[in-house]
Every structure is written in C-alpha cells, then in structure tokens.
Amino acid sequence: MTRTATRIAEALAGLPTTAWAEERPWEPWGMHPMWGIWGVWGIVMMLCMLAFWGLVIAGLVVGLRWLLTLGREQRHDAALDILRQRYARGDITKDEFEAKKRDLS
C-alpha cells in the first residue's frame, strides 16, 4: 500500500460506526427515511420521469415527421397557377380551362 492509501485507511478506521449507519433502522415493510411524506416524493419523481420521457418521445416524433416532409414540399406549377388566375378573371371559359388543364397534366 502507498502512504496515502494507508493514511486514508487509518482515518476511516478511526471513525465511529454510527457515522456509517442510518439514524434509525429501516424495516423492509416500513417507511424508508428517503420516502419523504408518505411516499409522495416517489410519486412526484415517477411523474417527472413520465413527463421527461413523454417530451423526448414527442420531440422524436415531431423531428422525424419534419425530416420526412422536408423533401416533399408542395411544388407550385406556375403554368397551372396562371391558368387558374385567367379562369378566375373570366378570360377563359370552363371548357377551355379543363382542356388546357388536361394539356398541362
């Protein structure tokens, strides 16, 4: 053993055993000192964990949907837009609109 490790071991051996023990013994079916007020902290921590993982999963779903729709942006056909505008203004009739629309498709 090195000199430092020996000093640490001697210091730890000199501590009273009560420093390492809990203040009161823990019964397996009783209330543990870390449970707080009748186990409320356990419930709060469980709800926080559920909220955290819910946000992580929701973020992944939104991110994946955004990535998948990124390449599929709707493309606007300029010729079809002009044709619709001409029909809306009354420059062409419905039959002409339908015929030209079939030609463009």
pLDDT for residue 25: 59
Closest to 34 (Cα-Cα) out of 20, 47, 23? 23
Neighbours of 92 (CB within 10 A): 15
Below-70 pLDDT ranges, the chain: 1, 6-7, 9-39, 71, 73-75
pLDDT for residue 77: 78
pLDDT for residue 64: 94
Q: For the chain, which residues make up each domain, given as ranges?
A: 3-52+77-104
pLDDT for residue 28: 60
pLDDT for residue 78: 83
pLDDT for residue 47: 92
pLDDT for residue 73: 64
Packing angle of the helix pair 94-104, 78-89 (nearest 10 deg): 180
